[in-house]
């Protein structure tokens, strides 16, 4: 079972590396890792389990956050109380996006960033991501709002970018009035 200590901290230089494409078929090791990532993210969003296992709530995790520089991520989205959709995308690419820009009013968070960070991270309100599932089948997912933000956040990880890199240090709320808060 994954634990918080398995997740790299923002000070770790590996988080700024660009991850490499995954080749298919994926290894049994990567299949187990995906299963562990889903379990971790699900447990972290269920209050009793998060407390029991000392987990910070998280919605997404990229392989690089576990020190594995491979292009895949997992997002576990709670769409209703205790109801989750799991998204596992290998070699993801953003293929289209809305013109509308949104941001998380309370600020984005990250399992690799163990501190509060003030500021806004402009994100597309809607995105379409293409990639592959665990079996190498091509997939295409359209996401909106919170889920779209999660996909963009994890895609950034694969390119060595943390959400903190996207906040203007001189003006953390720059252009806030141009975007819609969610």
Residues annotated catalytic, as ranges:
154
Range of the domain at 145: 4-181
Which contacts qualify for 65-69: CB closer than 8 Å, 24 or more apart?
65/7, 65/8, 65/15, 65/111, 65/112, 65/157, 66/2, 66/6, 66/7, 66/8, 66/33, 66/37, 67/8, 67/12, 67/14, 68/33, 69/14, 69/17, 69/18, 69/19, 69/20
Q: How many domains does the chain have?
A: 1
Task: State how far the Cα of 80 lies from the Cα of 87, in Å rounded to an integer.
Answer: 16
**pTM of structure:** 0.95
Kindly indicate the confidence band of residue 33, based on its pLDDT and cuts at 50, 70 and 90: very high
Please report, rounded to a whole number, the percentage of residues in the chain having pLDDT higher than 70.
Answer: 100
pLDDT in tens, 88-141: 999 999 999 999 999 999 999 999 999 999 999 999 999 999 999 999 999 999
- CATH number at 54 reads 3.90.45.10
């Amino acid at each position: 079972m994954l634990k918080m200590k398995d997740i790299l901290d923002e000070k770790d230089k590996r988080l700024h590396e660009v991850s490499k494409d995954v080749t298919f078929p994926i290894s049994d090791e990567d299949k187990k890792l995906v299963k562990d990532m889903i379990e971790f993210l699900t447990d972290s969003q269920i209050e009793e389990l998060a407390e029991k296992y000392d987990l910070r709530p998280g919605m997404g995790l990229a392989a690089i956050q576990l020190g594995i520089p491979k292009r895949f991520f997992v997002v576990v989205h709670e769409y209703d109380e205790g109801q989750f959709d799991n998204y596992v995308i290998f070699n993801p690419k953003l293929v289209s996006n809305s013109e509308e820009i949104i941001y998380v009013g309370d600020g984005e968070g990250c399992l690799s960033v163990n501190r509060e960070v003030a500021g806004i991270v402009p994100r597309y309100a809607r995105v379409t991501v293409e990639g592959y599932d665990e079996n190498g089948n091509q997939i295409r997912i359209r996401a909106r709002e919170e889920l779209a933000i999660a996909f963009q956040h994890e895609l950034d990880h694969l390119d060595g970018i943390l959400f903190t890199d996207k906040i203007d240090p001189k003006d953390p709320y720059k252009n806030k009035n141009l975007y819609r808060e969610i």
